[in-house]
Amino acid sequence: MIRLSHVIYKADNLYKSVEDFKKKGFAVEFGSKVKPHNALIYFSEGPYIEIIQKAPISNFLKFILKLIGKQSLAKRFERWDKAKKGFFEICFENYNQDFDQEIKILKKYNQKYFITKSERTDPKNRTLKWNLLFPRDHRLPFFMTYFNIDPKPRNFIHPNGIKKIHKVKYGNEKRLLKIINEMCNDETLNLQANLKEELIILEFE
């Protein structure tokens, strides 16, 4: 089962955006205690929000990716760095420890991919681990296996009364929407044809 994992929000300033979301009544936590590069808005069910100021790798590592033939991955992270303020990227997740289902669909459409591992220790001292899959086409969403430890609060309602993300309207090229639709049947995701640029609009409940 492939679900919508989270939606990424690009911030001009990570700390300021955290305060802005808090003022709007959301409970926000940084991804780690020391030098966090992201912040999270979790909901008890469904997708969550990740806030970033820049891609999680340095320009030097992007250069290395290009040297070893991973130009498409470097290009994805460069797109993250250049993204305008707002929601700009989505991620899918599964509850397995592999990407067999995703790989089968990507191969069907002749899409190459790159798989890696990631982990972080959150402010509650939980070491979260997961795997990542990045399709070669950087306009396709990327994938993750669900965390080894569930970080989401149970039966939680944000101070503003919001319980979850009800709908994510997502636009992309028609040729890519066909692949995306086959990969993810999450009812939260509402796909819309948009030839110019990715469109992401959130509705809360």
Domain of 41 in residue numbering reads as 3-204
Tens place of pLDDT for every residue, the chain, 205 residues? Answer: 899 999 999 999 999 999 999 999 999 999 998 899 999 999 999 999 999 999 998 888 888 888 888 898 999 999 999 999 999 999 999 999 899 999 999 999 999 999 999 999 999 999 999 999 999 999 999 999 999 999 999 999 999 999 999 999 999 998 999 999 999 989 999 999 875 667 888 999 9
Per-residue confidence (pLDDT) for residue 128, from 0 to 100: 97
Spatial distance between the Cα atoms of 97 and 31, rounded to a whole number of angstroms: 22
For position 183, which CATH number holds? 3.10.180.10
Question: How many separate domains does the chain show?
Answer: 1
Spatial distance between the Cα atoms of 53 and 81, rounded to a whole number of angstroms: 8
Per-residue confidence (pLDDT) for residue 196, from 0 to 100: 61
User: 117-143 burial, b for 16+ CB within 10 Å, e for fewer?
Assistant: eeebebeeeeebebbebbbbbbbbbbb
